[in-house]
Every structure is written in structure tokens, then in C-alpha cells.
Chains A and B, each alone.
Chain A
């Protein structure tokens, strides 16, 4: 049936990706491609549906851009985040805040001219470079928070939902308590009390310190600021898992009632196998959507926390922190608020668009309606022509 579609370039790309992936896996697992025809067909359909959804494609584009900048940002940046130039106007007056697009003389002695496409901050640092470097901070934080907080929540939710009874009661009561705090407030409180201990830990474990510095692409000089940065991460992990515990528990409860779970129990499969091989793959779809949306959420919250002066401290490049520091010059230095905020919004919007599109794509009902719409519009187009 799918062959009736007029394939766009993206569709052909989707075909290539799916078949390429199939062939690739088949290199390691013989016959995988033949045995998983149905699965590959489903993937292909999902990608087709994605291609039909412009918002999701825009989201995907923004997200890929964010990831690339997150990885390469510090290298792309023209200036290191901790480079504080002395700036002079053409008439050699010293200047602190350079407006966007302005040119300045970098050094009193060696007359190099420097351009600030997005302006500079009050230290004279190039805002564009800061934003590029700051992408790494946001990127790493969001990945750490999601990859530690979410699995914890999923695990607890699965256990609570599957075993029920007292275990469920205990886990859910704890979850409720955490949910009773507005997430940001709890994160604020936690990021206030945690830094000291983390800093102690970091300073005594050099390998960890090195690794973290490498992750955030920071110089050794910033080692003393890691405590505050990691405190925010830990705080966000602590506030992030309860929502997932609750969602997972809910879907586990529904899924558990399905007969194939009972069939698995009748065969004698152990609880672990049933939870991870049978229940989890069947409830992961909606959770994946949440995860995608939450990448945006983490980035927003992190920006919010650093806007409140928590977490990253200068000179570490961080979008929220730039706004926090720049706000005192508002509205004169509007660019210090506008551009970092805009970037945060675009990244969050990217994840949200992608997540919203995924929701439609992963739900077979809407996915098929998307596919159908494509075909119908094609038919109507023909009828008109």
C-alpha cells in the first residue's frame, strides 16, 4: 500500500536509513534483516510520518543543531569563554558593553579590530562565543539529568506498578512527597545546600574532577566552581524522577492487566523478565515522548535556576547566567537578555516540537491518520488537476 506514495527526497532518505541500519545489524546478527521485516517496515512508516509533519521536522532540525553545537560549540566559538579582552573604541576610550554588530579595538597596543555580532557582556566577552560555549553546558546538563533521573523514575515506577501492595504504597508515598513540592522550589532549596559537599567530593577525587571538566569543556581554573554546577544537576535529578515514577507506574498498572503478562506468568517467567522484556517495551512509547519534551524542560529549568544565580558561576558560559548578569544593565544592554533567552527558547521549542510530533508518530492511530492525510491530499490534488 505504501508504494502508492509519491516519495519525497526525505522519504528516500528514510528508506536508505532504515535499510542501511538493517544491513548494518545483519553484519553482526545473521539474518536479522529478513527476520525483522515487519519491524523495519514500521520504522520506515514512522519516518514517513515524520516527513509529513513540518513542525516535527523543524523540531528535529533545531534539536540536531543544538546537539551539534553542544558537542562542537566550545570549538566553534571564536573566543574562549574565559578570555576577557580589554576593549577600546576607535578613539581609544575604554568600553565595557559592546552593542551587537559593533567593532572595537581589541588591545590598546596591537590595534586588532574585533567584531561583536551579538554584542559583548560587561566583561567584554563576545556574546556569540559565550552562547556557543554555553550550549555545551546546557547539553551536558540535560543529558545527565535525563539519563540519571529518568531511568530511576522508570525503575521505581515499574517496581511499584508490577508488585503493587506495600511496595507500591511505599514508593508512591515517597513520590507523592516529592511531587508535593513545586519542582523549581525544591531544586532551588537543594541547589543551595548541596554545593559544599559536592565541592569537597570533587576536590578529593581528581579523576572525577578531570572528567567533569572535560565534559563541560572547562579549564582547570574552574575546578572550584564545579560544586555549584553539579549541585544544580543533582538537584534536578532529585526533582525529575518522581514524575516518571508516577507515569511509569500508571502505564505498568494498565499493561499488567493485559493477558500476555498473565500468559508470561503462567509460563513461569521471572518477574524481572516480565518487567523488562514484556512490560517496558510496551509502555516505552509515551515515556519516550515525555523524555523528548523533558529535554526542553530540563534546559528551561536549568536556565531558570542559573537566572536566579544558582548553578554555573562566571566565567563558566551558561545561558541563564548570562541573563542573570546582564539583567542589571537592562534595558540598555538588551542583547544580554534577548539573545541568550531566545536561544533557550529555540532549543526548548525544538525539543517540544519534536516531542509533540513523536507523540503523533508513535501512536499508531494518529500515525496512520497522518499517512492517510498524505494520500488523500494527493488524490484530491489529482482530482483538481
Chain B
């Protein structure tokens, strides 16, 4: 299968400022590697502060990484300049979590969608018709053309954002919690639209979310992040059926399922959920999960576990599965 995106040893540290010098570093993303294949949805899950959003933005070069390589269709994103960078900006897009701040409140829908089109020099015969067609493809219509964002509901705004992205005919879209600010009934709508568009245009998605149910529904493959580290990567089905990393297991057992019987069952065999994620400023040594891990051994406290392939395509970074 063709790789659209390859992330190699990506690191992003944010400085913690002291008076004159940097006091320390927030290791938001610390040496993660994964790839995304054409036409698939790669889900990235984790709790707040685990670095999933930073990963998404760094891939698009909205934040400069501290170290590592990002290859987009074989080209090193960090080295792109001029026209090539412009090409990348067109081919790789992002959809944000908060529909209330992702649209400029002073622009009409028409301007919001046409601005990138004009900037990228895409030839359009009739701009109005072009925008109306886009709006229709995401479930809006020509009535909305000259309205301002504040006249729309959250779900509609996400559709406008989607239309803006579609206008550039991208290949790869980072979806950064696109539905977490929306109600469930609206969420289902947006998720279905995203799936339909992927089928029709062959988009590749990086789907970032903290909602395991949504990730399961959307993703073909997925990665689980904890404190800046990728702890488990594999096909979504396999991870849900057979979570390997103790953190993944804990996460899965903590989700409340919308089914009382199943909930009772799960609750009975729920692993004890312990503690809260520590601060990423001074993450624990060794395996970062060890202070909360029920299976922690000596080696976990000292050395970082390597990523190993336990079954086909299913990788995990845990000393339970690796040989030291």
C-alpha cells in the first residue's frame, strides 16, 4: 500500500520559561513514529495533554518540531520551500475541534471558502457556483452563501470548515477532534459525511480524538498515546478486541458504554483505574506509565520500552512484551 505520510522519531519540546533561561521542557511529543497509508483513517487517541493535538499540528508544520522527520508523499515536509510548500499547504489540510473559533467571524461563508482558493490560484469559472456546489456537497445550500459564521449552529459551522477544506482538493486531512464540541445527534451526521467524502474522493485522514467510540467507528488503524509517547499501534479492531498495553486496557475499561447490561459486565471486570496522568514537564523515567501501571517491574522504572510487533501489524511499547 502507498504511504501518504511517514512520521519518524518526531519530537516536540516546548520550553518552560524561567526569568532569563529556560527552566525545563514540556515534552509534548517525544520520539514517535508511525505511517499512514493512502485512503485510510488513522486514529490517534489519548487523554488531554498526551500530545495528540501537537502531533497533528507538527505534521502540518503549524508548529516546528524539535527533531524528527515528516515525509509527505516522499517529500520531507520540514525542507519544503516556496512553491513546494504551497503545494503541501494545499494537499494537507486540517479541521479543528472548536467550530466557534475556526471561522473568521468577519468573513461571509463565500469569502471563507474563496480566500484559500484564490490564494492557491485555483481556476474557477464562476466562483458563486463553485462555492454553492461545495456547500451542497457538505449538506448546506446557496441560501447560506453570504451569511456570517455567527448565524450558524456548531454542526453547520463544521460543515463550512469542511467545505473550505474540500475547495482545495486535498489528499490528506488532519481531523483534530472534529466532533467533540458537538452534540451526539449532530456528531453522527458529521462523522457520516466524513466517511462518505472519504469513499468518494479517496481522502486520507488522521483522526485525533479522546472519544474511543468515535475512533473505533472511524478508524482503520489507530495509535494510542500517553504522555508524549505512542504506546500501541495497530488495526483498530485488533486493539479494541485485544488491547496489549496496560494503559490501553485501562482506557478501554474506563469508557462508559451506552448499554446498561454491558456496563454492568464491564464494571465487574474493570481494572482498577489509578491516578491521573502526571505533568509532561518532568515525565517519569523509564516507561512513562509505570507509576500507574499494575504490572510495573523494575525494568519499567529504568528503561524505556521499545516498540515491538506482537502480532501482525499490532505494535506495543511495553516491557511485558519486549525482551530487555
Could you tell me which A residues sit within 8 Å of B by CB distance? 34-39, 258-260, 262-269, 273, 278, 281-282
User: Quick one: closest A residue to B98, CB to CB?
Assistant: A259
User: Quick one: closest B residue to A42, CB to CB?
Assistant: B148
Complex Cα–Cα for A229 and B265 (A): 86
Instruction: Output the residue of A258, A265, A266, A281 with the most chain B CB within 10 A.
Output: A266
Instruction: Decide if A263 touches B115 in the complex (CB within 8 Å).
Output: no
A35 CB contact (under 8 Å) in B110, B164, B168: B110
**Chain B hits for A263, CB < 8 A:** 94, 96, 102-103, 161, 164
Known: A38-B146, A259-B98, A259-B101. A266 touches B106 (CB 8 A): no
B284 interfacial by beta-carbon distance below 8 Å: no
B151 interfacial by beta-carbon distance below 8 Å: yes
Could you tell me which B residues sit within 8 Å of A by CB distance? 57, 60, 62, 85-86, 89-90, 93-94, 96-98, 101-106, 108, 110, 115-116, 119-120, 145-148, 151, 161, 164, 168
B146 CB contact (under 8 Å) in A36, A260, A281: A36
Instruction: Decide if B120 touches A268 in the complex (CB within 8 Å).
Output: yes
Instruction: Decide if A267 touches B168 in the complex (CB within 8 Å).
Output: yes
Known: A267-B115, A267-B168, A268-B90. A262 touches B96 (CB 8 A): yes
Instruction: Output the residue of A260, A281, A282 with the most chain B CB within 10 A.
Output: A260
User: Quick one: closest A residue to B93, CB to CB?
Assistant: A266
| Shortest Cβ distance from residue B91 to the other chain A in the assembled complex, whole angstroms | 11
Complex Cα–Cα for A276 and B196 (A): 37
Instruction: Decide if B119 touches A38 in the complex (CB within 8 Å).
Output: no
Q: Is the interface of B mostly helix, strand, loop or mixed?
A: loop
Instruction: Decide if B86 touches A37 in the complex (CB within 8 Å).
Output: no
Complex Cα–Cα for A259 and B157 (A): 13
Instruction: Decide if A34 touches B146 in the complex (CB within 8 Å).
Output: yes
Instruction: Decide if B108 touches A35 in the complex (CB within 8 Å).
Output: yes
| Shortest Cβ distance from residue A368 to the other chain B in the assembled complex, whole angstroms | 12
Complex Cα–Cα for A39 and B149 (A): 12
User: Quick one: closest B residue to A269, CB to CB?
Assistant: B119
| Shortest Cβ distance from residue B52 to the other chain A in the assembled complex, whole angstroms | 16
Instruction: Decide if B102 touches A282 in the complex (CB within 8 Å).
Output: no
12 contacting pairs across A/B (C-beta < 8 A)? A35-B110, A38-B108, A38-B147, A258-B101, A263-B102, A263-B161, A267-B93, A268-B90, A268-B116, A268-B119, A269-B116, A282-B104
| Shortest Cβ distance from residue B105 to the other chain A in the assembled complex, whole angstroms | 6
**Chain A hits for B98, CB < 8 A:** 259
| Shortest Cβ distance from residue A175 to the other chain B in the assembled complex, whole angstroms | 20
Complex Cα–Cα for A355 and B147 (A): 29
Complex Cα–Cα for A34 and B146 (A): 8
Complex Cα–Cα for A262 and B146 (A): 23
**Chain B hits for A267, CB < 8 A:** 89, 93, 115-116, 119-120, 168
Instruction: Decide if B146 touches A37 in the complex (CB within 8 Å).
Output: yes
Instruction: Decide if B102 touches A260 in the complex (CB within 8 Å).
Output: yes
Instruction: Output the residue of B106, B108, B147, B168 with the most chain A CB within 10 A.
Output: B106
**Chain A hits for B147, CB < 8 A:** 38
Instruction: Decide if A282 touches B106 in the complex (CB within 8 Å).
Output: yes
Complex Cα–Cα for A268 and B106 (A): 19
Known: A35-B108, A267-B119. A259 touches B93 (CB 8 A): no
**Chain A hits for B106, CB < 8 A:** 281-282
| Shortest Cβ distance from residue A104 to the other chain B in the assembled complex, whole angstroms | 60
**Chain B hits for A262, CB < 8 A:** 57, 62, 94, 96, 102
| Shortest Cβ distance from residue A222 to the other chain B in the assembled complex, whole angstroms | 46
| Shortest Cβ distance from residue B301 to the other chain A in the assembled complex, whole angstroms | 38
Instruction: Decide if A260 touches B104 in the complex (CB within 8 Å).
Output: yes
A38 CB contact (under 8 Å) in B62, B102, B148, B164: B148
**Chain A hits for B164, CB < 8 A:** 263
The 8 closest A-B pairs by CB, nearest first: A268-B89, A259-B102, A267-B116, A258-B101, A259-B96, A281-B106, A260-B104, A259-B101
Instruction: Decide if B146 touches A265 in the complex (CB within 8 Å).
Output: no
B94 CB contact (under 8 Å) in A37, A38, A39, A266: A266
Complex Cα–Cα for A36 and B86 (A): 31
| Shortest Cβ distance from residue B124 to the other chain A in the assembled complex, whole angstroms | 16
Complex Cα–Cα for A278 and B106 (A): 8
| Shortest Cβ distance from residue A80 to the other chain B in the assembled complex, whole angstroms | 48
**Chain B hits for A38, CB < 8 A:** 108, 146-148, 151
Known: A35-B110, A267-B89. A260 touches B115 (CB 8 A): no
**Chain B hits for A282, CB < 8 A:** 104-106
Instruction: Decide if B103 touches A260 in the complex (CB within 8 Å).
Output: yes
Complex Cα–Cα for A263 and B119 (A): 13
